[in-house]
Amino acid sequence: MIKRREFLAKAGTLTAAVGTGSLVSAPAVHASPKKFRFKMVTTWPPKFPVLQTGAEEFTKKVKIMSGGRLSIQVFAGGELVPPLGVFDAVSSGSIEMGHGAAYYWAGKVPEAQFFTSAPFGFTAQQLNAWMYYGGGLDLWREVYAPFNLVPLPACNTGVQMGGWFNKKIDSLADLKGLKMRIPGLGGKVISKAGVNVVLLPGGELYTALERGVIDALEWVGPYHDLKIGFYRAAKYYYYPGWHEPGSCLELVINKKAWDKLPKDLQQIVKSASAEANLMTLAELDAKNGSALNELVSKYKVNILKYPDDVIKKLHELSKETYEELSAGNPKIAKVYANFQKFARQIEPWTAMSTAAFMDAKKL
Amino acid sequence: MIKRREFLAKAGTLTAAVGTGSLVSAPAVHASPKKFRFKMVTTWPPKFPVLQTGAEEFTKKVKIMSGGRLSIQVFAGGELVPPLGVFDAVSSGSIEMGHGAAYYWAGKVPEAQFFTSAPFGFTAQQLNAWMYYGGGLDLWREVYAPFNLVPLPACNTGVQMGGWFNKKIDSLADLKGLKMRIPGLGGKVISKAGVNVVLLPGGELYTALERGVIDALEWVGPYHDLKIGFYRAAKYYYYPGWHEPGSCLELVINKKAWDKLPKDLQQIVKSASAEANLMTLAELDAKNGSALNELVSKYKVNILKYPDDVIKKLHELSKETYEELSAGNPKIAKVYANFQKFARQIEPWTAMSTAAFMDAKKL
């Protein structure tokens, strides 16, 4: 790093004329005297920690920063529109803002899944580099433009856990016929390894696991998983979460509503969503840390690592999945190509910085 | 992750009564009609990429968000006060804001070094968790309070590189007598391994390395290092950067100036600095990725990894350094204890999430 003394050569001295405080009483000339009242619908259950509460925190900061000129009323999933209805409600302009995840709209915009997370894809830190300085967000805007949606990264969960299992995974053979709840691209990949991917509502997961309706499931990470109490219904907790290495959740704004906002309020929304992107990961990391320690020390959870050959195979199957999806859809191919291009730019650097440092700590 | 269908049970339907756009023309009642003109002095050279430019970007966003009610004029190191003078200028209230690094003030506030970066300490992601959700920032505020300074994290460099060397490091023995420019705690640690730590102004580094006045130096990372052209003066480029695994740079605000700001402008400063914290790391990661690829493919730089026994020893010496500093200073002891406590909370989680995922990718 740079040493402060190095710049002394240039140093001037603090002149006596330097102002003190500079409070200038000026008339109230403000960029925008108009007040806006927006609604935000989310895909999350009421009070769902970090995700729903993070969306609410975002609106509080927007309100404070705008001096009350932009107030956003938040509705959790199902309170105003169904969780599945967020995309359409904001796209149509019925609602001004939405909070969810791009991979929830895989049926409508399959190429947008890469903006949330991809198996063996980017960590949160890498994804942010792609989004803000690698063309990712520009591409996302392009992808959402036909739907009148302006996307902004607004939350990141970090690496999710591999999941809760009642069958031990010693080799690839153990995946065959395993009944597992795992949605999205991760589910698509693991089904290629013979897993029987099951879709179940969140509220039914605990009972399904306890009663043997499913053998395994993945949810989020230690903090959310501890709250549900999966450790009481499962024998093993697996890591690492190969399927969602850093899920970016989205703020979407209806284009017309966005265009109506003056520049200052647009920047307030942008900065508050960037802040939320940073803060939610920090909050989850701190809470996952505590929860993991509790799962281990208090509940004696049996935490296991996926065998290397299983991970290797899932990595291969992930690439195979991306190739297949790209071959069948030029829009997916375009996003995947951009994603891969940035991966080639960032991966060697991550390997030499963060990954190498973490290895060094283990010695 | 959560599947959107899971919340369908709760789903209502989008009622026709839902408002459209809700643009309410109201009189311009704003929290604060006052205009503030602040000065910011930094420890960075003019136009220094990401650090100085990031500070400038921060002030631009503050100006836009505040509708011009808070405008901050930025002065690079030496333009108004010496780089070394930033702390005192803001502390005294002569200048309202400063941008630099807490470890530059080790002579005045040695315990603050932990808020920048510590050898074998936190990565950027871990540091953010400590800062915002682990009590780190609260402690930092407490530490700076006697100096009338309000600190905010405002930039992160990520893992810095190990440095440029003209002597090959095959074992601990090769460190003895090595003349290396490496400031701060890293310098303190490596001097215990026999390195002759040299202090030199930044502008003299290239020539000193080329002419053999020093055998080695560390600077920042591939992007900044490529710009200076160290690859032309050194035989080897070492990794990982054990000494600064994620340096957090600071925004400091004079307490009286801070207290004068209304709540909306305070929040704008807070959110903009959080955004800068996120964005600077994303920018550096993207640019370090490109620069590293260029150093390897175009300039054929010989990149080497520190031997394991060297890393292990430096890790031991880091702990020894912290213990010694703590024993001699209760204020350092307090910050180090908090730092260690959070390390115990976060390290097992990082090992099981980010580190394990990165290992999985290597298989």
* Amino acid present at B272: A
Domains B36-157+246-286 and B163-245+291-328 share a fold: yes
| Chain-chain contact of B94 with A10 (C-beta, under 8 angstroms) | no
**What dihedral do alpha carbons B238, B240, B243, B244 form, nearest 10°?**
110
**Average pLDDT of chain A?**
92
The CATH number that domain A36-159+246-286 falls under is 3.40.190.170
Whether A270 shows a pLDDT value over 90: the answer reads yes
pLDDT reported for residue B1: 56
> What is the SS3 assignment for B66-131?
CCCCEEEEEECCCCCCCHHHHHHHHHHCCCCEEEECHHHHCCCCHHHHHHCCCCCCCCHHHHHHHH
Q: Are A118 and A185 in contact (CB under 8 A)?
A: yes
C-beta of residue A218 within 8 angstroms of C-beta of residue B3: no
A363 touches chain B (CB under 8 A): yes
- Residue A264 near residue A140, CB atoms below 8 Å: no
Find chain A residues with C-beta within 8 A of B256's C-beta: 21
Among chain A residues, the shortest Cα distance to B31 is held by A67
pLDDT for A174 beyond 70: yes
User: Can you give the residue ranges of every domain in chain A?
Assistant: 36-159+246-286
A20 falls in which pLDDT band (50, 70, 90)?
A: very low
The span from the CA of B196 to the CA of B199, in Å, is: 10
Q: Do A275 and B279 touch (CB under 8 A)?
A: no
Q: What is the pLDDT of residue B26?
A: 40
Q: What are the C-alpha distances in Å from A234 to residues A81, A207, B353? A: 34, 11, 20
Burial class (CB in 10 A: 0-12, 13-18, 19+), B360: buried
Residues from chain B contacting residue A221 (CB–CB below 8 Å):
353
pLDDT recorded at residue A10: 37
Which residues on B lie below 8 Å from A5 (Cβ)?
83-84, 199, 201
**b/e per residue A267-284 (b: at least 16 CB within 10 A):** bbbbbbbbbbbbbbbbbb
What is the C-alpha separation between A73 and A31, in angstroms, rounded?
23
What pLDDT is attached to residue B203? 82
CATH fold for the domain made of B163-245+291-328: D-Maltodextrin-Binding Protein; domain 2 (3.40.190)
Phi and psi (nearest 5°) for A256? -65, -40
Residues A345, B9: C-beta atoms closer than 8 Å = no
Closest A-chain CA to B30: A67
Which of B45, B81, B240 shows the shortest C-beta gap to A14?
B81
Confidence band for A33, pLDDT divided at 50, 70 and 90: confident
Q: Distance between CA B276 and CA B59 in Å, rounded?
A: 10
Note whether A282 contacts B132, CB cutoff 8 Å: yes
Closest Cβ–Cβ partner in A77, A161, A263 for B64 = A263
Q: What are A217-235's pLDDT values in tens digits? A: 999 999 999 999 999 999 9
- Which positions 50-109 of B are in contact with A (Cβ < 8 Å)? 51, 61, 64-69, 77-85, 89, 93-96, 100-101, 103-104
pLDDT for residue B201:
76
Q: Specify whether the CB–CB gap between B329 and B110 falls below 8 A.
A: yes
What string of pLDDT tens digits covers the 363 residues of chain B? 555 444 433 333 333 333 334 444 443 445 548 999 999 999 999 999 999 999 999 999 999 999 999 999 999 999 999 998 999 999 999 999 999 999 999 999 999 999 999 999 999 999 999 999 999 999 999 999 999 999 999 999 999 999 999 999 999 999 999 999 998 899 999 999 999 999 887 789 999 999 999 999 999 999 999 999 999 999 999 999 999 999 999 999 999 999 999 999 999 999 999 999 999 999 999 999 999 999 999 999 999 999 999 999 999 999 999 999 999 999 999 999 999 999 999 999 999 999 999 999 999
In the block, residue with structure tokens 């199902």: A78
Burial class (CB in 10 A: 0-12, 13-18, 19+), A129: buried
- Predicted ipTM? 0.92
pLDDT for the residue numbered A1: 56
Beta bridge partners, B303, equal: B237
Give me the pLDDT at residue A22, please. Answer: 41
Q: Identify the architecture of domain B36-157+246-286 in CATH.
A: 3-Layer(aba) Sandwich (3.40)
The whole-angstrom distance between B133's CA and the closest CA on chain A is 6
